[in-house]
A and B are shown apart, each in its own frame.
Chain A
Protein backbone atom coordinates (compact mmCIF):
# COMPACT_ATOMS: atom_id res chain seq x y z
CA UNK A 1 0.00 0.00 0.00
CA UNK A 2 2.91 2.36 0.56
CA UNK A 3 2.98 5.25 2.97
CA UNK A 4 1.60 8.73 3.38
CA UNK A 5 4.27 11.32 4.05
CA UNK A 6 3.18 14.80 5.07
CA UNK A 7 5.13 17.95 5.94
CA UNK A 8 3.60 19.93 8.83
CA UNK A 9 4.28 23.55 9.83
CA UNK A 10 3.50 25.14 13.20
CA UNK A 11 3.68 28.92 13.81
CA UNK A 12 0.59 29.76 15.87
CA UNK A 13 2.30 30.94 19.06
CA UNK A 14 5.96 31.11 20.09
CA UNK A 15 7.27 27.85 18.63
CA UNK A 16 8.40 27.72 14.99
CA UNK A 17 8.48 24.16 13.72
CA UNK A 18 8.52 21.91 10.66
CA UNK A 19 8.19 18.13 10.72
CA UNK A 20 7.67 15.21 8.35
CA UNK A 21 5.53 12.30 9.49
CA UNK A 22 4.93 9.00 7.72
CA UNK A 23 2.09 6.49 8.15
CA UNK A 24 0.84 3.35 6.45
CA UNK A 25 -1.75 4.10 3.76
CA UNK A 26 -3.70 0.92 4.47
CA UNK A 27 -4.33 1.80 8.11
CA UNK A 28 -7.18 3.75 9.70
CA UNK A 29 -4.83 5.73 11.90
CA UNK A 30 -4.88 3.43 14.93
CA UNK A 31 -1.43 2.04 14.13
CA UNK A 32 0.04 5.53 14.47
CA UNK A 33 2.86 7.03 12.48
CA UNK A 34 6.55 7.75 12.48
CA UNK A 35 8.20 11.13 12.73
CA UNK A 36 10.89 11.14 10.03
CA UNK A 37 12.30 14.57 10.84
CA UNK A 38 11.52 17.58 12.91
CA UNK A 39 13.11 20.99 13.28
CA UNK A 40 11.84 23.24 16.05
CA UNK A 41 12.92 26.56 17.49
CA UNK A 42 11.34 28.09 20.56
CA UNK A 43 11.21 31.88 20.85
CA UNK A 44 11.23 31.88 24.66
CA UNK A 45 14.32 34.13 24.84
CA UNK A 46 12.80 36.78 22.55
CA UNK A 47 9.64 37.05 24.65
CA UNK A 48 11.10 36.66 28.14
CA UNK A 49 11.77 40.40 28.77
CA UNK A 50 8.09 41.09 28.16
CA UNK A 51 6.77 38.46 30.55
CA UNK A 52 4.64 36.86 27.83
CA UNK A 53 4.36 36.27 24.10
CA UNK A 54 4.37 39.52 22.08
CA UNK A 55 2.45 38.83 18.82
CA UNK A 56 4.50 41.13 16.55
CA UNK A 57 7.81 39.78 17.87
CA UNK A 58 6.52 36.24 17.32
CA UNK A 59 5.37 36.95 13.75
CA UNK A 60 8.73 38.48 12.83
CA UNK A 61 10.66 35.55 14.27
CA UNK A 62 8.50 32.97 12.47
CA UNK A 63 9.21 34.62 9.10
CA UNK A 64 12.95 34.82 9.83
CA UNK A 65 13.38 31.12 10.50
CA UNK A 66 10.54 29.00 9.13
CA UNK A 67 11.94 28.38 5.63
CA UNK A 68 15.28 27.36 7.14
CA UNK A 69 13.55 24.86 9.42
CA UNK A 70 11.62 23.38 6.46
CA UNK A 71 14.87 22.98 4.54
CA UNK A 72 16.45 21.30 7.57
CA UNK A 73 13.53 18.89 8.07
CA UNK A 74 13.68 17.91 4.40
CA UNK A 75 17.46 17.44 4.52
CA UNK A 76 17.28 15.41 7.75
CA UNK A 77 14.62 13.11 6.28
CA UNK A 78 16.54 12.67 3.05
CA UNK A 79 13.33 13.47 1.18
CA UNK A 80 12.46 16.04 -1.46
CA UNK A 81 9.08 17.76 -1.64
CA UNK A 82 8.13 15.51 -4.57
CA UNK A 83 8.44 12.49 -2.25
CA UNK A 84 5.67 13.89 -0.01
CA UNK A 85 1.88 13.58 -0.30
CA UNK A 86 0.74 16.91 1.18
CA UNK A 87 1.80 20.07 2.98
CA UNK A 88 -0.13 20.88 6.18
CA UNK A 89 0.04 24.01 8.32
CA UNK A 90 -1.68 25.25 11.45
CA UNK A 91 -4.24 27.72 10.07
CA UNK A 92 -5.70 28.72 13.45
CA UNK A 93 -6.61 29.31 16.18
CA UNK A 94 -3.64 31.38 17.28
CA UNK A 95 -1.77 34.64 16.88
CA UNK A 96 -2.74 35.53 13.32
CA UNK A 97 0.55 37.21 12.28
CA UNK A 98 2.43 33.99 12.95
CA UNK A 99 -0.30 31.72 11.60
CA UNK A 100 -0.15 33.60 8.28
CA UNK A 101 3.60 32.96 7.95
CA UNK A 102 3.02 29.21 8.25
CA UNK A 103 -0.05 29.19 6.01
CA UNK A 104 1.58 31.24 3.22
CA UNK A 105 4.75 29.13 3.35
CA UNK A 106 2.67 25.95 3.09
CA UNK A 107 0.51 27.31 0.27
CA UNK A 108 3.64 28.35 -1.66
CA UNK A 109 5.26 24.93 -1.17
CA UNK A 110 2.02 23.27 -2.29
CA UNK A 111 1.67 25.41 -5.42
CA UNK A 112 5.31 24.94 -6.43
CA UNK A 113 5.30 21.18 -5.90
CA UNK A 114 1.75 20.38 -6.99
CA UNK A 115 0.96 18.83 -3.59
CA UNK A 116 -2.36 19.32 -1.79
CA UNK A 117 -2.51 21.90 1.01
CA UNK A 118 -4.15 20.99 4.31
CA UNK A 119 -5.30 23.68 6.76
CA UNK A 120 -4.99 22.20 10.25
CA UNK A 121 -6.88 23.35 13.33
CA UNK A 122 -4.23 23.64 16.05
CA UNK A 123 -6.66 22.25 18.64
CA UNK A 124 -7.46 19.24 16.48
CA UNK A 125 -3.72 18.67 16.13
CA UNK A 126 -3.40 18.54 19.93
CA UNK A 127 -6.51 16.33 20.06
CA UNK A 128 -5.20 13.78 17.54
CA UNK A 129 -1.52 13.69 18.60
CA UNK A 130 -2.07 10.85 21.04
CA UNK A 131 -2.93 8.66 18.01
CA UNK A 132 0.50 9.31 16.48
CA UNK A 133 1.90 6.91 19.11
CA UNK A 134 -0.45 4.18 17.89
CA UNK A 135 -3.03 2.03 19.64
CA UNK A 136 -5.67 4.68 20.26
CA UNK A 137 -9.08 4.30 18.58
CA UNK A 138 -11.99 6.75 18.51
CA UNK A 139 -13.85 7.77 20.58
CA UNK A 140 -11.85 9.03 23.56
CA UNK A 141 -12.20 11.67 26.24
CA UNK A 142 -9.66 14.44 25.78
CA UNK A 143 -8.46 16.90 28.38
CA UNK A 144 -6.89 19.67 26.31
CA UNK A 145 -4.91 21.95 28.61
CA UNK A 146 -2.51 24.51 27.16
CA UNK A 147 -1.50 28.14 27.50
CA UNK A 148 -4.45 29.22 25.40
CA UNK A 149 -7.09 26.56 25.99
CA UNK A 150 -8.58 24.32 28.64
CA UNK A 151 -11.39 22.06 27.45
CA UNK A 152 -12.93 18.60 27.80
CA UNK A 153 -13.71 17.09 24.40
CA UNK A 154 -15.25 13.86 23.19
CA UNK A 155 -13.03 13.05 20.21
CA UNK A 156 -15.31 10.94 18.01
CA UNK A 157 -13.31 11.06 14.81
CA UNK A 158 -11.31 13.31 12.49
CA UNK A 159 -13.21 16.59 12.26
CA UNK A 160 -15.66 15.32 14.87
CA UNK A 161 -15.00 16.71 18.33
CA UNK A 162 -17.78 17.46 20.79
CA UNK A 163 -16.99 19.97 23.52
CA UNK A 164 -18.22 18.80 26.92
CA UNK A 165 -16.88 21.69 28.95
CA UNK A 166 -14.37 24.54 28.87
CA UNK A 167 -12.77 27.17 31.01
CA UNK A 168 -15.00 30.19 31.36
CA UNK A 169 -12.01 32.53 31.85
CA UNK A 170 -8.29 31.71 31.89
CA UNK A 171 -6.66 28.60 30.46
CA UNK A 172 -4.71 26.39 32.88
CA UNK A 173 -1.38 27.22 31.24
CA UNK A 174 -2.24 30.90 31.36
CA UNK A 175 -2.89 30.56 35.11
CA UNK A 176 0.55 28.98 35.57
CA UNK A 177 2.17 31.77 33.54
CA UNK A 178 0.44 34.51 35.53
CA UNK A 179 1.31 32.87 38.84
CA UNK A 180 4.95 32.59 37.82
CA UNK A 181 4.97 36.25 36.79
CA UNK A 182 3.50 37.40 40.12
CA UNK A 183 6.03 35.31 42.04
CA UNK A 184 8.96 36.57 39.99
CA UNK A 185 9.69 33.18 38.42
CA UNK A 186 9.78 34.46 34.83
CA UNK A 187 8.38 33.22 31.55
CA UNK A 188 7.28 30.56 30.64
CA UNK A 189 5.65 29.85 33.97
CA UNK A 190 4.62 26.21 33.89
CA UNK A 191 8.01 24.56 34.31
CA UNK A 192 9.12 27.21 36.85
CA UNK A 193 6.05 26.73 39.08
CA UNK A 194 6.35 22.94 38.85
CA UNK A 195 10.01 23.07 39.87
CA UNK A 196 9.37 25.39 42.83
CA UNK A 197 6.34 23.32 43.91
CA UNK A 198 8.54 20.24 44.38
CA UNK A 199 10.14 21.95 47.37
CA UNK A 200 6.88 23.26 48.83
CA UNK A 201 4.03 22.25 51.11
CA UNK A 202 0.75 22.27 49.15
CA UNK A 203 -1.31 22.45 52.36
CA UNK A 204 0.23 25.59 53.90
CA UNK A 205 -1.89 28.14 52.00
CA UNK A 206 -5.63 27.64 51.52
CA UNK A 207 -6.48 28.44 47.91
CA UNK A 208 -9.96 28.05 46.38
CA UNK A 209 -11.13 25.29 44.01
CA UNK A 210 -13.40 27.25 41.63
CA UNK A 211 -16.47 25.40 40.21
CA UNK A 212 -15.55 22.11 41.95
CA UNK A 213 -18.69 20.03 42.57
CA UNK A 214 -20.86 22.21 40.33
CA UNK A 215 -23.03 20.72 37.56
CA UNK A 216 -21.43 20.32 34.14
CA UNK A 217 -17.68 20.23 33.61
CA UNK A 218 -16.67 23.84 32.98
CA UNK A 219 -13.53 25.21 34.60
CA UNK A 220 -12.44 28.57 35.99
CA UNK A 221 -8.96 29.71 37.01
CA UNK A 222 -9.16 33.46 37.23
CA UNK A 223 -10.36 33.50 40.86
CA UNK A 224 -7.48 31.23 41.81
CA UNK A 225 -5.05 33.75 40.37
CA UNK A 226 -6.67 36.56 42.39
CA UNK A 227 -6.54 34.42 45.54
CA UNK A 228 -2.81 33.83 44.98
CA UNK A 229 -2.23 37.56 44.69
CA UNK A 230 -4.17 38.24 47.91
CA UNK A 231 -2.30 35.48 49.72
CA UNK A 232 1.04 37.04 48.77
CA UNK A 233 -0.18 40.47 49.87
CA UNK A 234 -1.29 39.06 53.25
CA UNK A 235 2.24 37.78 53.86
CA UNK A 236 3.18 41.36 54.69
CA UNK A 237 5.37 44.12 53.33
CA UNK A 238 8.60 42.10 53.13
CA UNK A 239 9.15 40.01 50.01
CA UNK A 240 8.22 36.32 50.36
CA UNK A 241 11.03 33.98 51.40
CA UNK A 242 12.10 31.21 49.01
CA UNK A 243 10.14 28.75 51.18
CA UNK A 244 7.04 30.97 50.94
CA UNK A 245 7.36 30.87 47.15
CA UNK A 246 7.80 27.10 47.12
CA UNK A 247 4.70 26.67 49.30
CA UNK A 248 2.68 29.12 47.20
CA UNK A 249 3.62 27.22 44.04
CA UNK A 250 2.83 23.86 45.59
CA UNK A 251 -0.56 25.12 46.81
CA UNK A 252 -1.36 26.73 43.48
CA UNK A 253 -0.41 23.66 41.46
CA UNK A 254 -2.40 21.42 43.82
CA UNK A 255 -5.46 23.65 43.44
CA UNK A 256 -5.26 23.37 39.64
CA UNK A 257 -4.75 19.61 39.87
CA UNK A 258 -7.78 19.28 42.17
CA UNK A 259 -9.95 21.43 39.88
CA UNK A 260 -8.89 19.54 36.76
CA UNK A 261 -9.45 16.17 38.43
CA UNK A 262 -12.91 17.07 39.78
CA UNK A 263 -14.03 18.57 36.48
CA UNK A 264 -12.52 15.61 34.58
CA UNK A 265 -14.65 13.25 36.72
CA UNK A 266 -17.72 15.22 35.68
CA UNK A 267 -16.58 15.15 32.04
CA UNK A 268 -15.94 11.40 32.33
CA UNK A 269 -19.55 10.97 33.43
CA UNK A 270 -20.89 13.03 30.50
CA UNK A 271 -18.64 11.13 28.09
CA UNK A 272 -19.74 7.72 29.43
CA UNK A 273 -23.41 8.65 29.04
CA UNK A 274 -22.80 9.09 25.34
CA UNK A 275 -20.15 6.51 24.56
CA UNK A 276 -20.29 3.97 27.37
CA UNK A 277 -17.30 2.45 29.17
CA UNK A 278 -14.01 1.06 27.87
CA UNK A 279 -12.56 4.14 26.19
CA UNK A 280 -9.41 6.10 26.89
CA UNK A 281 -8.84 9.34 28.74
CA UNK A 282 -6.21 11.41 26.93
CA UNK A 283 -4.37 14.45 28.25
CA UNK A 284 -2.86 16.81 25.66
CA UNK A 285 -1.55 20.35 25.35
CA UNK A 286 1.47 22.01 26.91
CA UNK A 287 0.12 21.68 30.46
CA UNK A 288 0.22 17.89 30.03
CA UNK A 289 3.97 18.15 30.58
CA UNK A 290 3.25 18.84 34.29
CA UNK A 291 3.81 15.60 36.24
CA UNK A 292 1.44 16.44 39.11
CA UNK A 293 -1.43 17.13 36.72
CA UNK A 294 -0.61 14.03 34.69
CA UNK A 295 -0.75 11.90 37.83
CA UNK A 296 -4.04 13.49 38.96
CA UNK A 297 -5.72 12.80 35.63
CA UNK A 298 -4.23 9.29 35.42
CA UNK A 299 -6.03 8.59 38.73
CA UNK A 300 -9.31 9.90 37.31
CA UNK A 301 -8.95 7.47 34.38
CA UNK A 302 -7.96 4.61 36.65
CA UNK A 303 -10.98 5.05 38.96
CA UNK A 304 -13.25 4.33 35.98
CA UNK A 305 -11.13 1.60 34.41
CA UNK A 306 -10.21 3.89 31.52
CA UNK A 307 -6.84 3.65 29.81
CA UNK A 308 -4.87 6.86 30.42
CA UNK A 309 -2.77 8.21 27.56
CA UNK A 310 -0.71 11.35 27.21
CA UNK A 311 1.75 12.06 24.44
CA UNK A 312 5.37 12.44 25.56
CA UNK A 313 6.08 16.01 26.76
CA UNK A 314 7.75 17.02 23.45
CA UNK A 315 4.50 16.23 21.63
CA UNK A 316 2.35 17.98 24.27
CA UNK A 317 3.92 21.39 23.84
CA UNK A 318 3.45 23.01 20.42
CA UNK A 319 5.25 21.10 17.68
CA UNK A 320 4.93 20.35 13.98
CA UNK A 321 4.75 16.55 14.16
CA UNK A 322 1.21 16.90 15.48
CA UNK A 323 0.34 19.13 12.52
CA UNK A 324 1.84 16.68 10.03
CA UNK A 325 0.04 13.79 11.75
CA UNK A 326 -3.29 15.64 11.58
CA UNK A 327 -2.52 16.27 7.91
CA UNK A 328 -2.21 12.50 7.42
CA UNK A 329 -5.46 11.84 9.30
CA UNK A 330 -7.26 14.35 7.06
CA UNK A 331 -5.56 13.25 3.84
CA UNK A 332 -6.73 9.68 4.52
CA UNK A 333 -10.31 11.01 4.35
CA UNK A 334 -9.64 13.17 1.28
CA UNK A 335 -9.90 16.35 3.35
CA UNK A 336 -7.66 18.90 1.63
CA UNK A 337 -8.10 22.67 1.36
CA UNK A 338 -8.01 25.25 -1.43
CA UNK A 339 -5.10 27.70 -1.78
CA UNK A 340 -7.43 30.63 -0.97
CA UNK A 341 -8.12 29.18 2.51
CA UNK A 342 -8.63 31.95 5.06
CA UNK A 343 -6.58 31.52 8.26
CA UNK A 344 -8.70 31.78 11.41
CA UNK A 345 -7.47 33.51 14.58
CA UNK A 346 -10.46 31.91 16.36
CA UNK A 347 -11.47 28.43 15.29
CA UNK A 348 -13.46 26.42 17.84
CA UNK A 349 -13.20 22.65 17.43
CA UNK A 350 -16.87 22.14 18.10
CA UNK A 351 -18.78 24.88 16.25
CA UNK A 352 -22.07 23.64 17.77
CA UNK A 353 -20.95 24.17 21.37
CA UNK A 354 -22.53 27.19 23.04
CA UNK A 355 -20.11 30.12 23.30
CA UNK A 356 -18.25 30.39 26.59
CA UNK A 357 -15.97 33.22 27.55
CA UNK A 358 -12.47 32.03 26.90
CA UNK A 359 -13.38 29.28 24.47
CA UNK A 360 -11.17 29.02 21.39
CA UNK A 361 -9.09 31.88 22.64
CA UNK A 362 -5.34 32.30 22.55
CA UNK A 363 -3.78 34.99 24.65
CA UNK A 364 -0.27 36.11 25.39
Chain B
Protein backbone atom coordinates (compact mmCIF):
# COMPACT_ATOMS: atom_id res chain seq x y z
CA UNK B 1 0.00 0.00 0.00
CA UNK B 2 1.58 3.30 -0.99
CA UNK B 3 1.41 6.50 1.02
CA UNK B 4 0.45 9.88 -0.36
CA UNK B 5 3.17 11.84 1.45
CA UNK B 6 6.73 11.15 2.62
CA UNK B 7 7.02 9.14 5.85
CA UNK B 8 9.79 9.78 8.38
CA UNK B 9 10.66 6.79 10.58
CA UNK B 10 12.70 6.83 13.82
CA UNK B 11 14.07 4.00 15.92
CA UNK B 12 16.14 4.32 19.10
CA UNK B 13 14.63 1.39 20.98
CA UNK B 14 17.71 -0.86 20.96
CA UNK B 15 21.46 -0.42 20.45
CA UNK B 16 21.28 1.95 17.47
CA UNK B 17 20.02 5.28 16.23
CA UNK B 18 18.12 4.85 12.95
CA UNK B 19 16.22 7.19 10.66
CA UNK B 20 14.55 6.64 7.29
CA UNK B 21 12.48 8.67 4.87
CA UNK B 22 10.26 6.86 2.37
CA UNK B 23 8.78 8.68 -0.60
CA UNK B 24 5.47 7.99 -2.37
CA UNK B 25 7.34 6.81 -5.48
CA UNK B 26 8.97 4.03 -3.47
CA UNK B 27 12.42 5.59 -3.01
CA UNK B 28 13.94 5.63 0.46
CA UNK B 29 16.86 7.19 2.32
CA UNK B 30 18.02 5.65 5.59
CA UNK B 31 20.87 5.66 8.07
CA UNK B 32 21.54 3.36 11.02
CA UNK B 33 24.32 4.18 13.48
CA UNK B 34 24.97 1.39 16.00
CA UNK B 35 25.35 2.77 19.55
CA UNK B 36 24.65 1.62 23.08
CA UNK B 37 24.05 5.18 24.27
CA UNK B 38 24.15 8.68 22.84
CA UNK B 39 20.90 8.48 20.85
CA UNK B 40 19.70 11.72 22.48
CA UNK B 41 22.63 13.57 20.92
CA UNK B 42 22.68 11.75 17.57
CA UNK B 43 18.99 11.49 16.65
CA UNK B 44 17.91 14.99 15.66
CA UNK B 45 21.03 15.79 13.57
CA UNK B 46 20.59 12.39 11.88
CA UNK B 47 16.98 13.26 11.01
CA UNK B 48 18.21 16.53 9.50
CA UNK B 49 20.82 14.78 7.38
CA UNK B 50 18.48 12.01 6.14
CA UNK B 51 15.86 14.61 5.17
CA UNK B 52 18.53 16.60 3.35
CA UNK B 53 19.73 13.50 1.51
CA UNK B 54 16.15 12.88 0.40
CA UNK B 55 15.89 16.50 -0.73
CA UNK B 56 13.04 17.25 1.68
CA UNK B 57 12.24 20.15 3.98
CA UNK B 58 10.85 19.00 7.34
CA UNK B 59 7.49 20.53 6.38
CA UNK B 60 7.18 18.05 3.50
CA UNK B 61 6.88 15.10 5.91
CA UNK B 62 3.32 13.78 5.96
CA UNK B 63 3.58 10.97 8.48
CA UNK B 64 5.92 9.99 11.30
CA UNK B 65 6.51 6.38 12.31
CA UNK B 66 8.37 5.50 15.51
CA UNK B 67 9.23 2.29 17.32
CA UNK B 68 7.39 2.11 20.65
CA UNK B 69 9.29 -0.86 22.11
CA UNK B 70 9.87 -3.12 23.74
CA UNK B 71 13.41 -1.89 24.34
CA UNK B 72 15.49 0.42 26.49
CA UNK B 73 13.21 2.74 28.49
CA UNK B 74 15.44 5.73 27.86
CA UNK B 75 15.79 4.85 24.17
CA UNK B 76 12.01 4.60 23.81
CA UNK B 77 11.50 7.99 25.38
CA UNK B 78 14.18 9.60 23.20
CA UNK B 79 12.47 8.34 20.02
CA UNK B 80 8.92 8.97 21.19
CA UNK B 81 9.52 12.48 22.57
CA UNK B 82 11.21 13.40 19.29
CA UNK B 83 8.46 11.86 17.15
CA UNK B 84 5.70 13.51 19.16
CA UNK B 85 7.49 16.88 19.08
CA UNK B 86 7.86 16.61 15.30
CA UNK B 87 4.23 15.57 14.91
CA UNK B 88 3.09 18.57 16.95
CA UNK B 89 5.25 21.01 15.00
CA UNK B 90 4.44 19.60 11.57
CA UNK B 91 0.79 18.87 12.25
CA UNK B 92 1.09 15.33 10.91
CA UNK B 93 0.06 11.95 12.35
CA UNK B 94 2.52 9.97 14.47
CA UNK B 95 2.17 6.18 14.37
CA UNK B 96 3.73 3.63 16.69
CA UNK B 97 5.25 0.40 15.35
CA UNK B 98 6.44 -2.27 17.75
CA UNK B 99 10.01 -3.54 17.59
CA UNK B 100 8.49 -7.03 17.32
CA UNK B 101 6.45 -6.10 14.22
CA UNK B 102 9.50 -4.58 12.52
CA UNK B 103 11.76 -7.58 13.26
CA UNK B 104 9.15 -10.23 12.41
CA UNK B 105 8.36 -8.43 9.15
CA UNK B 106 11.97 -8.92 8.01
CA UNK B 107 11.82 -12.68 8.68
CA UNK B 108 8.42 -13.00 6.93
CA UNK B 109 9.92 -11.55 3.73
CA UNK B 110 11.99 -14.76 3.50
CA UNK B 111 9.42 -17.19 4.93
CA UNK B 112 5.92 -15.69 4.48
CA UNK B 113 3.94 -18.25 6.50
CA UNK B 114 6.49 -18.90 9.23
CA UNK B 115 5.98 -18.78 12.96
CA UNK B 116 8.43 -16.16 14.29
CA UNK B 117 9.52 -15.64 17.90
CA UNK B 118 10.93 -12.18 18.57
CA UNK B 119 13.34 -12.09 21.53
CA UNK B 120 14.66 -8.76 22.79
CA UNK B 121 17.32 -8.46 25.46
CA UNK B 122 15.83 -6.26 28.20
CA UNK B 123 19.34 -5.73 29.65
CA UNK B 124 17.76 -6.37 33.04
CA UNK B 125 17.97 -10.17 33.21
CA UNK B 126 14.79 -11.18 31.41
CA UNK B 127 13.77 -11.00 27.75
CA UNK B 128 10.88 -9.40 25.94
CA UNK B 129 9.10 -11.97 23.75
CA UNK B 130 6.28 -12.08 21.21
CA UNK B 131 5.24 -14.65 18.59
CA UNK B 132 3.92 -13.86 15.11
CA UNK B 133 2.70 -16.11 12.29
CA UNK B 134 2.33 -14.96 8.71
CA UNK B 135 0.72 -11.64 7.81
CA UNK B 136 -2.81 -10.29 8.15
CA UNK B 137 -4.96 -8.84 5.36
CA UNK B 138 -3.09 -5.51 5.60
CA UNK B 139 0.29 -7.17 5.28
CA UNK B 140 1.23 -6.68 8.93
CA UNK B 141 2.82 -9.53 10.92
CA UNK B 142 -0.03 -11.38 12.69
CA UNK B 143 0.58 -11.67 16.47
CA UNK B 144 -0.21 -14.99 18.15
CA UNK B 145 0.21 -13.57 21.66
CA UNK B 146 0.82 -10.32 23.52
CA UNK B 147 4.37 -9.05 24.00
CA UNK B 148 5.64 -9.96 27.48
CA UNK B 149 8.72 -10.17 29.70
CA UNK B 150 10.04 -13.73 30.19
CA UNK B 151 12.81 -15.11 32.43
CA UNK B 152 15.68 -16.61 30.36
CA UNK B 153 14.58 -20.23 30.98
CA UNK B 154 11.05 -19.60 29.77
CA UNK B 155 12.35 -17.68 26.75
CA UNK B 156 14.69 -20.56 25.92
CA UNK B 157 11.83 -23.08 26.18
CA UNK B 158 9.68 -20.96 23.84
CA UNK B 159 12.57 -20.66 21.40
CA UNK B 160 13.23 -24.38 21.10
CA UNK B 161 9.73 -25.31 19.82
CA UNK B 162 9.88 -27.19 16.52
CA UNK B 163 9.76 -25.07 13.38
CA UNK B 164 9.87 -21.65 15.04
CA UNK B 165 12.13 -18.98 13.52
CA UNK B 166 13.98 -16.62 15.84
CA UNK B 167 14.79 -12.93 15.53
CA UNK B 168 16.06 -10.15 17.79
CA UNK B 169 19.10 -9.35 19.94
CA UNK B 170 17.84 -11.74 22.62
CA UNK B 171 18.75 -14.71 20.39
CA UNK B 172 22.47 -14.08 20.73
CA UNK B 173 22.03 -13.36 24.44
CA UNK B 174 20.65 -16.92 24.92
CA UNK B 175 23.30 -18.44 22.59
CA UNK B 176 20.57 -19.85 20.33
CA UNK B 177 22.65 -19.59 17.17
CA UNK B 178 21.99 -17.72 13.94
CA UNK B 179 18.91 -15.55 13.70
CA UNK B 180 17.37 -12.75 11.66
CA UNK B 181 18.35 -9.09 12.11
CA UNK B 182 19.01 -7.81 15.62
CA UNK B 183 17.81 -4.25 14.91
CA UNK B 184 14.64 -2.85 13.32
CA UNK B 185 15.18 -1.55 9.76
CA UNK B 186 13.81 2.03 9.73
CA UNK B 187 12.63 1.74 6.10
CA UNK B 188 10.53 -1.23 7.18
CA UNK B 189 9.20 0.81 10.13
CA UNK B 190 8.11 3.55 7.71
CA UNK B 191 6.41 1.08 5.33
CA UNK B 192 4.62 -0.81 8.13
CA UNK B 193 3.13 2.50 9.27
CA UNK B 194 1.61 2.97 5.82
CA UNK B 195 -0.07 -0.45 5.89
CA UNK B 196 -2.19 -0.20 9.01
CA UNK B 197 -5.79 0.96 8.46
CA UNK B 198 -6.54 4.38 9.95
CA UNK B 199 -8.89 2.96 12.61
CA UNK B 200 -6.24 0.57 13.92
CA UNK B 201 -3.26 2.91 14.16
CA UNK B 202 -1.13 2.36 17.27
CA UNK B 203 -0.61 5.62 19.17
CA UNK B 204 2.99 6.77 19.87
CA UNK B 205 2.93 5.47 23.45
CA UNK B 206 5.76 3.39 24.91
CA UNK B 207 5.46 -0.37 25.30
CA UNK B 208 7.50 -0.72 28.50
CA UNK B 209 6.20 -4.19 29.54
CA UNK B 210 7.46 -3.55 33.05
CA UNK B 211 6.27 -1.25 35.84
CA UNK B 212 8.73 1.32 37.24
CA UNK B 213 11.08 0.03 39.94
CA UNK B 214 9.59 1.66 43.01
CA UNK B 215 8.34 0.41 46.32
CA UNK B 216 6.07 2.44 48.58
CA UNK B 217 7.98 3.51 51.72
CA UNK B 218 6.99 1.28 54.68
CA UNK B 219 4.59 3.28 56.83
CA UNK B 220 5.28 6.26 54.54
CA UNK B 221 8.67 6.75 56.27
CA UNK B 222 7.04 7.84 59.55
CA UNK B 223 9.09 7.28 62.71
CA UNK B 224 6.27 5.54 64.61
CA UNK B 225 3.82 2.78 63.64
Contact = CB atoms under 8 A, between A and B. Distances in A.
B40 A343 contact: yes
Contacts of B213: 56
B85 A181 contact: no
Interface residues of B, number: 40
A27 B41 CA distance: 34
Interface in A48-67: 49-52, 54, 56-57, 59-60, 63-64, 66-67
A181 B206 contact: no
A57 B212 contact: yes
A356 interface: no
Given A100-B78, A105-B85, A181 B73 contact: no
A63 B81 contact: yes
B44 A104 contact: yes
Contacts of B48: 111, 339
A100 B73 CA distance: 12
Interface of A: 49-52, 54, 56-57, 59-60, 63-64, 66-67, 70-71, 81, 96-97, 100-114, 181-184, 186, 229, 232-233, 239-240, 338-343
Given A50-B214, A51-B220, A186-B220, A104 B43 contact: yes
A363 to B, nearest CB: 14
B116 to A, nearest CB: 29
A107 B44 CA distance: 7
Interface string B185-217: 000000000000000000001101000111111
Given A51-B220, A105-B85, A182-B223, A59 B214 contact: no
Contacts of A182: 221-223
A229 B77 CA distance: 40
29 contacts: A50-B215, A50-B216, A51-B217, A52-B217, A54-B212, A59-B74, A60-B208, A60-B212, A63-B77, A97-B73, A102-B81, A104-B44, A105-B81, A105-B84, A105-B85, A107-B44, A107-B82, A108-B81, A108-B84, A109-B85, A112-B58, A112-B59, A112-B86, A113-B89, A181-B217, A181-B221, A184-B220, A184-B223, A233-B223
